[in-house]
Structure 1
Amino acid sequence: MERCGWCGEDALYCEYHDTEWGVPERDGRALWEKLILDGFQAGLSWITILRKREAFRAAFQGFEPEIIATWGEAEVARLLADPGIVRHRGKIEATIGNAQAYLDLGGADAFRDMIWAYVDGQPIQNAFATLAEVPAQTALSQQVSRDLKRAGFRFCGPTIVYAWMQACGLVNDHLVNCPRHQAVKGL
């Protein structure tokens, strides 16, 4: 058995695959952070974001929505000058708006409950044998994306949402020949 091929041989990527990807995330604030990072990944590789994750956490003050929601142009300018993160005005401004949308929904517990309701509280267990079988998006990720956008979120299209659902364990897309498939299924 071998791990899913998307992580290659990079040690950081393998560690992420082996310990984090696909593990059900039930903390609403952590779900929000991961959605923001997946939004920053748009147009880039996930390993780029993974390598910058600690710099993102520092720059965005631990991804505390209550802090980020109050930010304005001064903070946007500070972040655009930070070489440790992806410096993209639209994604930075979307993060501020997404913090406001998250709080408008009711915060961590409300966000968690909303997201996990899409899968009736239990991860979807897929059984893909090859990476070619794994979809980039699904009808469910399209629905979640539409609902998030209606709630005021940005940078949350159906492909981003599906990658986020995989990362957060709402769906188990570890390949069946990967040792993590059964381990994650048992969580």
Structure 2
Amino acid sequence: MKDYQPTQVQFDKDVASGVLEVLRDDGLYRHLRFRMSTGGFRWFDIVTWPDHLVITGDCETFTFQRLEDMFVFFRQGGQQINPGYWQEKILDCRVRARSFDWDTFRAEAMGKFEEGTNGWGCDDKQEAREALEDELDSDPDKHNGIHVLRNFQHTDSRGVIFSFDLSECVPDGMDWDYHYIWCCRAIVWAIFQYDKLKMTIAHSALEAL
């Protein structure tokens, strides 16, 4: 079970007591800085120049390239993130956007088990399922998990043998890395805050006329 899930609700809690500053706002050259008002983790900087946006801070560093104005690119989904499409625009090692997750690996393995034992009796299937879960959960590690699948074998009351065919498909357990998802949410949130600030300044200027 993941200790931390970068959901929108959790992200909103992470930034609730922070302050976003605009350090530079010169056309396509921008520098936004977020810091917690009490110090500590969950800080980040966002810097843009033509065709590039970099987010760096407590949750790693990612550089994106797509449009001349990268704020326009990240505004396209409103306040929704699009991690799959955005991953394609990462310049600095896009594989970092995904990482191994035990829960994902386990779910993939159990899914293969359910497919492979389709047609088994309920009691036989339950016995085999429990045996597999016990072996997997004894050491929740990718290498151990693959070892378990490679050697797992169970026979039902009819003499039908189930085993995993890893030559066809090996569960990889890869899921979105929480640092990457957090950064995606941070970019969208920071641009939204930036736009609100610009709107407030514009309204104030109009009222002053």
TM-score tier, shorter chain, comes to under 0.3
Greater helix content: 1
Larger RCO of the pair (alpha carbons < 8 Å, separation 6+): 1
TM-score normalised according to structure 1 size: 0.27
Structure number with larger C-alpha Rg = 2
Higher strand share: 2
- TM-score, normalised by the number of residues in structure 2: 0.25
